[in-house]
Amino acid sequence: MSASTLPFDGLLIGSSLATLAEPTGYGEITDGALAWKDGVLAYVGPRADLPGSPETLAREVIEASGWVTPALVDAHTHLVFAGDRAREFEMRLQGATYEEIARAGGGILSTVRAVRDADEDALFEQSLPRAQALLRDGVTTLEIKSGYGLDFESERRMLRVARKLGQTLGITVRTTYLAAHALPPEFKGNADGYVEALCAWLPDLHAEGLVDAVDAFCESIAFTPTQTRRVFETARALGLPVKLHADQLSDLGGAGLSAEFEGLSADHVEHTNEAGVRAMAASGTVAVLLPGAFHVLRDTKLPPLDLFRAHGVPMAVATDCNPGTSPLLSLRQAMQLACTHFRLTPEEALRGATTHGARALGFHDRGQLRVGMRADFVVWHVRHPAELCYWLGGDLVHSVHAGGVRAA
């Protein structure tokens, strides 16, 4: 039989599989086999049940040990930016308030200045190592937001860089338009005027194929529910899904607002009330937990985790990689923080960084090891999947595959 007529393009044997194919549990298959054809999983099961010897089934046969899981999905990042804010981190630890840091030239507007000063090549060169770090740690699907440009050309440049990162690394990048992130200096005192402007930019950016979803920061220090609603109505008119930075610092009903627009997700959600949780459950909106920001800001207000569980709201886990409040370059570390701070089980954290992370981006073709799903998977040097949340740091990845092709 020639290579072109073999049933599979690739076959991995010898590892145990954490399929996550059932609603609970790891879906363990010991001494498993994983095969793919045209970038899609074509066999997932025990090695002993393969319909022939490996060499007669696939052009490429990989023998491995350890465990295989679905590849990780990072459903919330601000990965494209210029510069850093390490000095602010130091100032905050020395007791400086947010206002003091802003007066000293820090805060989100310092990143806005750096992004506006960076051309597309410089922005790409600074952002690429961050995306590579996530990939090396098992991420093959990645959301990247704009929101550090806050004018048309700078937001456009951020979104173009995000697209280029996915093309360069051979991974999936979902782009999210987050111009409603902060008020730029040229619109000081005129938030409504800025919202009108950013809504006017969106159709052109969407027409260029640069926007997959629309987000906003609904908070007392950012944009009101009324202003956020205006952004969401613009997105809906264009057929774009929405998500929301919701209820991080206070309860403004952000989770419920996202659910009202059938949002893909409500993110942060530390202050979300039970009515918001019920609305999310009814709309299928995913709760995206961001323990990196919780950790860096030394927050103490936990998200309503028991309510999410009781009402069946899926909980994703993401890095929130950003220069100010979550300079986190490992989704596996975010999983560990979710277990430590939020008391998620390792299984919940893994499912949050795979199955539920995919759902938070609108994907239903990844996040599990099942026939018909994308062949996105990671081979790990571990003896049990719980180790992915147990180790603080370290290199646990053997290989990362995206669409059946080794990416790291």
Q: What is the pLDDT of residues 177-215, one digit of tens each?
A: 999 999 999 999 999 999 999 999 999 999 999 999 999
pLDDT by residue (tens digit) across 190-199?
Answer: 999 999 999 9
Query: What tens digit of pLDDT does each residue of 9-28 get?
Result: 999 999 999 999 999 999 99
Q: Identify the burial level of 273 via C-beta atoms within 10 angstroms of its C-beta, where 0-12 means exposed, 13-18 middle and 19 or more buried.
A: middle
Residues placed in the known binding site:
76, 78, 85, 148, 181, 245, 248, 320, 322, 324-325
The secondary structure of residue 238, as a DSSP letter, is: T
Region 330-337: mean pLDDT is 98
List C-alpha distances in Å: 69 to 43, 235, 266, 348, 406: 14, 35, 26, 14, 14
Q: How far is CA 112 from CA 147, 194, 336, 370, in A?
A: 8, 15, 30, 42
pLDDT tens per residue, range 63-85 = 999 999 999 999 999 999 999 99
CATH 2.30.40.10, the chain: domain bounds: 8-70+368-406
Q: What's the CA gap between 363 and 276, in Å, rounded?
A: 23
From-to residues of CATH 3.20.20.140 in the chain: 72-360
CATH of domain 72-360: 3.20.20.140
Sheet holding 72-74, edge to edge: 72-74, 139-145, 172-180, 213-218, 243-246, 265-268, 286-289, 315-317
Q: Is the pLDDT of residue 162 over 60?
A: yes
Confidence of residue 37 (pLDDT cuts 50, 70, 90): very high
What's the mean pLDDT in 140-165?
98
Annotated binding-site residues for Fe(3+) read: 76, 78, 245, 320
CA pair distance 382, 243, nearest whole angstrom: 34
Residues marked as binding for Zn(2+)?
76, 78, 245, 320
Strand order in the sheet with 40-46: 40-46, 32-37, 8-13, 58-63
Residue 363 CB contacts under 8 Å (≥ 6 apart), including other chains: 73, 141
Report the CATH fold assignment for 8-70+368-406. Answer: Urease, subunit C; domain 1 (2.30.40)
Q: Residue 1: what pLDDT? A: 45
- Is there a contact between 157 and 149 (Cβ–Cβ < 8 Å)? yes
Q: Binding site for 4-imidazolone-5-propanoate: residue ranges?
A: 85, 148, 181, 248, 325
- pLDDT tens digit sequence for 233-266: 999 999 999 999 999 999 999 999 999 999 999 9
